[in-house]
Amino acid sequence: MARILIAGSLAFDRIMTFSGRFKDHFLPDKLHQISVSFFIDRVVEEFGGTAGNIGYNLALLYVSPHLVANAGTDFDKYDEYLTGLGIDTSTIGRIPDVQTASAYIMTDLSDNQITAFTPGACAEAYAGTALVAGAHLLHVSPTSDEDMLVLPEKARTAGVPYFFDPGQRMTSLPVETLRAGIEGADVLFVNDYELALAIERTGWNEAQIVERVRLLVVTLGAEGSRLVTREGESLIPSVPAKAVDPTGAGDAYRAGFIAGYVAGLPDSTSAKIASTIAACTVETRGTQSHSPSRDDLKARYEGAYSGETWPL
């Protein structure tokens, strides 16, 4: 069985819903001195983190990944949950005297988000990086500075293809770590805003970034996703969805793409699988609360991409 490694965070998500719009609480001429407070309608604690979310969605697609992540002393209930999904948790590091990471995510009526994140155990370097050498694929999502530098290095040395997915670390990663992660990645995942940040921070334009990877994937929300290579680009339409909560859609998209990739499918087909599982995610609140069956996924995929058959 192919060993799929998902590096990233494991976190408890505190998801908050604000029944207004953030923009109505900011004065344009006072942005240098912000002091705002938001009255929250509801708070829900969920299992999350980039590695956890991607792993959950892979399990929905019948792929069993290994999670390359650290957790703290309060992780037992999350561990039991992942094991119940068929995810091997033996590769998860346990850090003593530290809590598991926590994310505080507030979403307004326009689907704008404000997120605060305390890294906890995932700030520590992962101790088991030697296992990269035996992998079929490594996906590197936001985690510690050291891991986002060392894990791609290990993959390049071992000849293991890796996907680089800096996400919310785009602004805080050291520039050299960001450049090193992009250089030689099989696939680079960004949304359109993150692409602009990558261009600004690396000093490379889009064409120069594409020269350094096999494939650049730019997600565009409801507008679909761009697949860009040195030979050209294509636009993959999104799967129509009644969006309730965008949180976790990006991680679901990554999982769908990974599932297609490890099945040996073309990038365009992998992106369509990705769009299908992402559409299911945004229709529920939370990052791991959706649970489409294979028949559900098949119907969504074939309804969106006329004439095509669900490939998994």
Alpha-carbon gap, residue 107 to 59, rounded angstroms? 27
pLDDT at 107: 85
- What's the pLDDT score for residue 30? 79
The pLDDT-based confidence of 285 (bands split at 50, 70, 90) is confident
Is it the case that residue 306 has pLDDT exceeding 80?
A: yes
Q: What's the CA gap between 169 and 143, in Å, rounded? A: 8
Catalytic residues: 251
Burial tier of 212 (Cβ tally within 10 Å: 0-12, 13-18, 19+): middle
Percent of the chain with pLDDT over 90: 82
The 3-state secondary structure of the chain reads CCCEEEECCCEEEEEEECCCCHHHHCCHHHCCCCCCCCCCCEEEEEEECHHHHHHHHHHHCCCCCEEECEECCCCHHHHHHHHHCCCECCCCEECCCCCCEEEEEEECCCCCEEEEEECHHHHCCCCCHHHHHHCCEEEECCCCHHHHHHHHHHHHHHCCCEEECCHHHCCCCCHHHHHHHHCCCCEEEEEHHHHHHHHHHHCCCHHHHHCCCCEEEEECHHHCEEEEECCEEEEECCCCCCCCCCCCHHHHHHHHHHHHHHCCCCHHHHHHHHHHHHHHHHCCCCCCCCCCCHHHHHHHHHHHCCCCCCCC
Say what the pLDDT of residue 29 is. 86
pLDDT given for residue 245 in this prediction? 80
Domains and CATH numbers, the chain: 4-22+43-304 (3.40.1190.20)
pLDDT tens, residue by residue, 264-275: 999 999 999 999
Q: What pTM, to 2 d.p., does this model score?
A: 0.90
Residue 80, pLDDT above cutoff 70: yes
Region 4-11: what's the mean pLDDT?
Answer: 96
Is residue 136 predicted with pLDDT exceeding 90? yes
Instruction: Give the dihedral sign, CA 254/82/118/139.
Output: negative
User: What's the whole-number mean pLDDT along residues 246-273?
Assistant: 97
Burial class (CB in 10 A: 0-12, 13-18, 19+), 104: middle
Query: How does pLDDT run across 41-79, given as a tens digit for each residue?
Result: 888 889 999 999 999 999 999 999 999 999 999 999 999
pLDDT at residue number 1: 60
Average pLDDT, the chain: 94
Mean pLDDT, residues 278-294: 93
Q: Angle at the Cα of 241 (from 186 to 114), degrees rounded to 5?
A: 70
The lowest-confidence range among 28-37, 209-218, 274-283 is 28-37
pLDDT tens, position by position, 149-176: 999 999 999 999 999 999 999 999 999 9
178 vs 113, more confident: 178
What's the pLDDT at 129? Answer: 87
pLDDT one-digit tens code per residue, 81-121? 999 999 989 999 999 999 999 989 898 888 788 989 899 99
Instruction: Of 35-39, 143-147, 268-272, give the range with the top mean pLDDT.
Output: 268-272
